[in-house]
Amino acid sequence: MHLSALITDLDDIEAGDDKRLAATDIAGMTSDSRDVKAGYLFAAFPGTKLDGRQYIDSAVQKGAVAILAPSGTKAPAGNAVLLEAGNPRRSFAKMAAAFYGRQVPVLAAVTGTNGKSSTVNFCRQIWQSMEHAAACLGTIGITANYAGGITKSRPGLLTTPDPVTLHAEIAELEASGVTHLAIEASSQGLDQYRLDGVRVTAAGFTNLTRDHLDYHGTMEKYLAAKLRLFGEVLIDGGVAVINSDTPYSKDFRATCEKRGLRIIEYGRNAKDIRLARQNPLPDGQFVELMVFGERYELELPLVGGFQAENALCALGLVLAEDPDNRLLHMQGVYALERLQSVRGRLELAARHPNGATVYVDYAHTPDGLETMLKALRPHAQKNLHVVFGCGGDRDKGKRPMMGEIATRLADKAIVTDDNPRTEDAATIRAEIMAAAKGATEIGGRREAIRAAIRALGPQDVLVIAGKGHEQGQIVGKEILPFDDVNEARNAILEASK
């Protein structure tokens, strides 16, 4: 593709000779100098740890024919074309969209501290029940349902990938026939403009609680990043789906009203999709819904009140395609009865021979842990147990908060290691234990899980929190194989002997 075609619709780019632009063919794009190949465009901008401008000369030596960099960057040696931009991250995202050229017709993006993975997966499942070729993309990877009932999964993505990876994946899905796609929109991804080239037709907001302050610094900046999805990324005429039960809903509503966007509210007090009644069942819950004025009663095969909220957000995003279509309302609502839990999101990992149940969940924030434990309490006829820890090299302020929450809401709590990364694991546990009165400290996560399962009595419930779907434990800079679900099942087998 000619370089001139990549910047046709960008007014933020300062470039040189138009003839050089038209004559320069771009074979690929990257913001990682290690991935540069002959004919590539290299995007060089400051990052959180490194400044890509330091690697411009290296990229040119590897064959880069164009450099995208902030305004004022010195022209590189050689023949590479320099493109200067006031916001090079946004320009890079839009250039990636132009390079790959394909967009899925219906694309929903979900942001929020908790619930993104479940919500996008529930969207895919609802669309699949309507016989759409649908997919979801995010933390857990990519899952796609194609014509003929074929399902393909690919793990291992960031919550919101870099623009090149994201648009390559979207283009591949669209070329394979996918018409409906739901993606996660992380605060870092939004702050770094990774989604700015994506044609988002519906945007969902789940909740906002303390997380990622090691990156954003303040809750105000964290909120501002989330609001970008609705204020700048969502297309004109798109639909916003907002959780009315969170105190931040007013901020999202105001942003959408300023743009004249249609809003679908969901929640216990919502006017559009209202959770009117909710009763726990052994392996799910009975819910009564009011959907645009119509009453529905159904059994939702998901444990936990917050999972009902995620399901309603997904329903709103599905209905956003045609909000006034009553037939679509009915199809979407009754598809909820066939939802399956998402890997590592209140996943039923095992049942103890004595009748106790063991769940694995990704909750790794104070609000996530509190919400999850409150959701499981009605399902524990006797004791509620939790095994959890906190990640290293992350927000230290949440450690005592999570310790207090665990011991307040669970009958028995074990503090263990999560992903200590480069921090001392014992120090992390000590910071949690300082506020975790009555908790037991067991450093090794494997032994902590086994100890918790040995302590289970009939009709108890155990949740292993923090890592969810993850297949490894990060110790230092090494990733050691570790799967909470497999560890729980192995421990149950040992306890059964």
Q: Where are the domains of the chain?
A: 3-86, 101-338, 347-496
Q: Write down the pLDDT at residue 157.
A: 55
Interior angle at CA 300, CA 299 and CA 303, nearest 5: 125
Q: Write down the pLDDT at residue 124.
A: 97
Question: In this structure, what token pair is assigned to residue 83?
Answer: 């493109």
Q: Write down the pLDDT at residue 16.
A: 63
Question: In this structure, what token pair is assigned to residue 291?
Answer: 């959907």
Instruction: List, in sequence order, the alpha helices (H) in 68-218.
Output: 88-100, 116-129, 163-175, 187-191, 213-216
Q: Indicate the SS3 state at residue 109.
A: strand
Q: In what order do the strands lie in the sheet with 40-43?
A: 13-14, 81-85, 66-70, 40-43, 28-30
Q: Write down the pLDDT at residue 130.
A: 95
Number of helices (H), then strands (E), belonging to the chain: the values are 17, 24
- Please provide residue 152's backbone torsions phi and psi, each rounded to the nearest 5 degrees: -125, 140
For 101-338, CATH gives 3.40.1190.10
- Digitized pLDDT (tens) for each residue of the chain, 497 residues in all: 889 899 988 888 887 666 778 789 999 999 999 999 999 999 999 887 889 999 999 999 999 999 999 999 998 888 899 999 999 999 999 999 999 999 999 999 999 988 999 999 999 999 999 999 999 999 888 999 886 666 677 766 556 789 999 999 999 999 999 999 999 999 999 999 999 999 999 999 999 986 766 777 898 999 999 999 999 999 999 999 999 999 999 999 999 999 999 999 999 999 999 999 999 887 899 999 999 999 999 999 999 888 999 999 999 999 999 999 999 999 999 999 999 988 888 899 999 999 999 999 999 999 889 999 998 999 899 999 999 999 999 989 999 999 999 999 999 999 999 999 999 999 999 999 999 999 999 999 999 999 999 999 999 999 999 999 899 999 999 999 999 999 999 999 988 77
Among 118, 162, 131, which residue's Cα sits nearest to residue 375? 118
- Give yes or no for a contact between 168 and 287, defined as CB atoms under 8 angstroms apart: no
C-alpha pair distances (Å), 489 with each of 49, 482, 483: 40, 13, 10
Q: In what order do the strands lie in the sheet with 440-441?
A: 347-351, 357-361, 461-465, 384-388, 412-415, 440-441
From first CA to last CA, the distance across the chain in angstroms is 64
For 347-496, CATH gives 3.90.190.20
- Give yes or no for a contact between 230 and 205, defined as CB atoms under 8 angstroms apart: yes
CATH architecture of the region 3-86: 3-Layer(aba) Sandwich (3.40)
Among 118, 98, 119, 100, which residue's Cα sits nearest to residue 108? 119
* Spatial CB neighbours of 34, under 8 Å, sequence gap ≥ 6: none
- Give yes or no for a contact between 331 and 400, defined as CB atoms under 8 angstroms apart: no
Q: What is the pTM of this model?
A: 0.84
H or E element that contains 494: helix 484-496
Q: Write down the pLDDT at residue 399.
A: 97
